[in-house]
Chains A and B, each alone.
Chain A
Amino acid sequence: MAERRSRSSPANGMVRLAAAFAVTALLSGAAIAQDLRELGVTDDEIRNQRRVTGNSITFCINADSLMADFERDLAAEIATAQLLEFEIAEITTMPPTPAYDFRLGLDDVTIFRLLANRCDAIMGYSLLSAFPNWITPSLPYLGTPTVLAVRSGEYAGLDDIPRARPIGTRSATLADNYLMAYMRTLPEASRWERVFYRDNGQLIERLLDRSVDAILIWEPAILAYEAAHPEARIDVITTIPFAIEPSQFVLALRPQEQFINLGLSDAIAALTADGTINRLAIAHGLLPAPGP
């Protein structure tokens, strides 16, 4: 567990945040506008200045996310730390976020429109190495790993799984990409069969019905599934022969709101340092409870 927490430390996130700020500062408004126009966003929308709401901040939360309850509590903590009044706007989407997942089921244009019209900050945005130039991220508030999950007692590690056996991944995720890249370093006869699925629920079901021997999956999904299905017997293997970056979660804001972002990021840093965020994440089942 200690190793997992160190991988998700905000220290890495601070470096990312600084880099993101630097990148954002270099982007001209014209470049952002051009990217948005390519996606069909109207000139009126690009120019739109969102309503002024005084000393109040609106956090938008994906109500279908596995992280929603955690984020409601965290939003309150952040606002309290910054002496802000706050409102939580619950977002539901079509298509909805599937079970055992966090991903907001919206395209970039719609996220832009949410930030322009409704949300000061969208919670649960996954900070990865690429994001649209009209979004600026806060300091990460939570890192959660991708793990290898197997049926209990069957395997102790990836190398125990016989070659050519099927391993499930979620299509086109970083974990999927890393698995493909890793297998390309192996002789063809030493590769497993990669089977891709669209969502975490499918992944777990296919593990348990023996369609695949192992799955690469976002750890909170396994924790939530086990909480809902105590009879499930799943082992989590954290040591994988290739590094998979943990999913870092941030608040997504508009680039012109750097001042607000700095305040919110200060609050996140303080809540990380005093253990509040870690406590909330464990309480909401996003991180494993510490062992005895």
Chain B
Amino acid sequence: MSLKFGHVASATVLASALFGAAAVFAQDAPPLRPGQLALDSYNPVTAEMLLDPPAADWLMMRGNYENWGYSRLDQINDGNVADLQLAWARGIPVGANQGAPLVHDGVMFLPAPWGTVQAINAATGDLIWEFTTGGQQTVDTTNGPIFNSLVDRHRSIFLWEDMVITTTYQNHIVALNAQTGQVIWDIDRGDSGQVASTNGPIVVNGVVIAGSSCQFAGFGCYVTGHDVTNGEELWRNEFIPRPGEPGDETWGGVPFENRWCTGAWGQISYDATLNLVYYGSTGICPAAEFQRNQVGAEVTLAGTNTRFAVRPDTGEIVWSHQVLPNDNWDQECTFDMFLIDTPVNPNANAQGMLAVGDVTGETRRTLTGMPCKNPVYWSFDAATGEFLYAKATWAEAQNLYESINGDGVPTMNREVVLDEPGEEVFFCSSFTGGRDWPSGAYDPTRNVMFMPTTDNCTYMSARMDREPAPNFVYNTTTRGVLNPAKDNDNTGRIDAVNAETGDTLWTWETRARNYSPILATAGNVLFNSGADRYFRAHSSETGDLLWETRLGSRGSGYTVTYEVDGRQYVATMAGTTLGGAAVTPEVDDANGFNMIYVFALPN
């Protein structure tokens, strides 16, 4: 195929003269800037396409609503992946480069830092249009308020009909014309500077659903639902109970106005058969129990670190399950879980198995994955929330859970609770993982989950020597170390786990931290990059390394695959991301130099 775009002044002429099709612009779209390019035609992304995405496209952050991170494309496979070559690359604006490119009909829509969205020719890397939100990229005191660094993350956008839906660091939700990048509607969710939505929205049944990054907020945050046609807010779900609401009694009498920071900034998933949207909430600040006046109290902090199943149209909560109560460790149980149809036969003797529920031998629609930074898989019945199993990547990967009972109710390890000033606790994993936002993948042909994690642990104490600033909301000081229970010095790893049994099928390890998402493909290949700048292809079956190439900087964002004119491409993001290199100082992990690299087999 060939893309159809041109300068706006010639757009209609090009459309009619060259392609014989009238350009379709939103009726209320303002005129384009002189010189701006636009697509002359655009095939809308329908609800039906989103439920069964074409293999050639990559229509949403993880490829489908079920968050699989899996592609049916197999032109690139375990037999030829070693022949991959660079097809094109392109610089990306500054900021943390953690985005997931989307691809539709040969056009890549790329979320770049600080709310920027770019439309790019997916076969050549040529820029078509760019939407920016304004001047934070440089620290310019003359250009409005300065925001904190952590809100620059812009991980995903969503394609719906002829729109690109995005969130911004000012806590707006914006609908762009997919052909031109121009704004169709823009709504302000309020609380700018304290709340953002770094992981972006999804759209279900015509409802835009967006979470919130809340760590600068002196209150608890929310997930909101909006009419996709105009952005009107339809519902808003808070996480922290108000006085008198169910769960209020689990907060140990802490006044409502002193319950802060709980948001839901992780990836949201959707089950069309059950008509349920799933998201997870984060912890609380300050982290230390003694700073919250809760030492020794029987507090669980209901609403924090909880997985919710809600109706997309109304926000009605159908079920919820708290996976990590009384968080003292910034565990943020907000990350993506997979929707998987599987027989349920958890192996109580599997490596790292912590708890098994009552269900065996039945096939269920499950919500399974690693919701917290703690490297523990949880599995629930997606319809009811019934607990199925919980399993750590390996036996000594974590020490936060003392136990988890057969109903999936955890008891936390009091030894690692910050319950007095000056105390230092040691816990595994660290506050940046285990896992963090980088997603795993699920291969439905194998019924296997692949998760990128890091085997670090943390010494942590509550700070008594410094007044809190925005990035000290948790008010702790931390020092990361390699997990001392390991018998080697590798920190980065990928584990392949059978979703039915919880058995670990293989583990691949490397010295450098693994802080990059995984892509699984029907070509029996997993793609993943590391802090050591290697972009790697592994065998899905064995984890064996099949191919690797060196990038300019750290693997930082999502890897996706797509097809244009019969040629499969693999795109990955590298550049700026968080550190974690203190444990591995010898790793050459250049930070910065944001790029997207796109690979393909030779023509």
Contact = CB atoms under 8 A, between A and B. Distances in A.
Q: Do A and B bind each other?
A: yes
Interface stretch (A13-21, A167-175, A282-290): A167-175
A180 B475 CA distance: 15
Contact of B465 (A109, A129, A180): A129
Contacts of B145: 92-94, 96
Given A40-B578, A93-B193, A173 B468 contact: yes
A34 B290 contact: no
Contacts of A202: 257
Contact of B471 (A41, A103, A107, A129): A107
B580 interface: yes
B468 A44 contact: no
A128 B463 CA distance: 12
Interface in B416-444: 420-421
B581 interface: yes
B413 interface: no
Contacts of B170: 94
Contact of A95 (B420, B468, B470, B577): B470
B494 interface: no
B590 interface: yes
Interface residues of B, number: 57
Nearest to B144: A92
Interface of B: 94, 96, 138-142, 144-150, 170, 192-194, 216-218, 255, 257-258, 260, 286, 290-293, 420-421, 462-472, 475, 575-582, 585, 590-593
Given A96-B193, A107-B471, A177-B421, 14 more contacts: A45-B592, A89-B142, A94-B170, A95-B470, A104-B469, A105-B193, A107-B469, A108-B469, A109-B148, A110-B139, A114-B139, A128-B465, A130-B463, A198-B258
A140 B336 CA distance: 48
A5 interface: no
Contact of B467 (A96, A103, A180): A103
A91 interface: yes
Closest 5 CB pairs of A and B: A94-B193, A42-B592, A107-B471, A38-B579, A95-B193
A38 B580 contact: yes
Interface in A96-128: 96, 103-110, 113-114, 116-119, 126, 128
Nearest to B575: A42
A92 B146 contact: yes
A106 to B, nearest CB: 6
B465 A130 contact: yes
Given A93-B146, A118-B139, A172-B467, A38 B218 contact: no
Contacts of A89: 141-142
A116 B94 CA distance: 15
Interface stretch (A189-197, A221-229, A263-271): A189-197
A195 B217 CA distance: 19
Interface string A156-182: 000000000000000111101100110
B97 to A, nearest CB: 10
A94 to B, nearest CB: 3
A109 B471 contact: yes
Contacts of A174: 464, 467
A257 interface: no
Nearest to A113: B139
Q: Which of B257, B469, B580 gathers the greatest number of chain A CB atoms within 10 Å? A: B469
A37 B472 CA distance: 17
A174 B467 CA distance: 6
B450 to A, nearest CB: 25
Contacts of A234: none
Nearest to B480: A38
A75 interface: no
A110 B139 CA distance: 8
Nearest to A61: B141
Contacts of B216: 95, 105
Contact of B148 (A110, A119, A180, A198): A110
B96 A172 contact: no
A60 interface: yes
Contacts of B149: 39-40, 107, 109-110, 113
Interface residues of A, number: 54
A128 B466 contact: yes
A130 B462 CA distance: 13
A120 B147 CA distance: 20
Contacts of B466: 128-131
Given A38-B582, A42-B94, A118-B140, A181 B421 contact: yes
A247 to B, nearest CB: 8
B218 A199 contact: yes
A172 B286 contact: yes
A103 to B, nearest CB: 7
Contacts of A173: 467-468
A154 B462 CA distance: 34
Contact of B421 (A96, A107, A180): A180
Contacts of B144: 92
B129 to A, nearest CB: 26
Q: Which of B138, B141, B577 gathers the greatest number of chain A CB atoms within 10 Å? A: B141
Contact of A114 (B146, B194, B260): B146
A279 B566 CA distance: 77
17 contacts: A38-B580, A40-B577, A40-B579, A40-B591, A43-B590, A90-B141, A94-B194, A106-B469, A108-B471, A109-B148, A128-B465, A130-B465, A173-B468, A177-B464, A180-B421, A196-B293, A197-B257
A233 interface: no
A184 interface: yes
Nearest to B291: A172
A55 to B, nearest CB: 21
A172 B463 contact: yes
B549 to A, nearest CB: 21
Given A197-B257, A197-B258, A202-B257, A37 B471 contact: no
A172 B468 contact: yes
Nearest to A105: B470
A107 B150 contact: yes
A173 B464 CA distance: 8
B352 to A, nearest CB: 28
A106 B146 contact: yes
Given A39-B578, A45-B592, A110 B146 contact: yes
Contacts of B218: 198-199
Contact of A91 (B96, B138, B146, B148): B146
Contacts of B576: 40, 42
A159 to B, nearest CB: 21
A171 B591 contact: no
Nearest to A109: B149
Contacts of B585: 34
Contacts of B257: 197-198, 202
Contacts of B575: 42
A24 to B, nearest CB: 17
B286 A106 contact: no
A44 B553 CA distance: 12
Interface string A3-42: 0000000000000000000000000000000100111111
A45 B575 CA distance: 13
Q: Which of A39, A42, A197 gathers the greatest number of chain B CB atoms within 10 Å? A: A42
Contacts of B140: 118
Interface string A39-66: 1111111000000000000001000000
A269 B216 CA distance: 36
Nearest to A36: B579
A94 B581 contact: no
B310 to A, nearest CB: 28
Given A96-B193, A118-B140, A197-B257, A42 B146 contact: no
A47 to B, nearest CB: 10
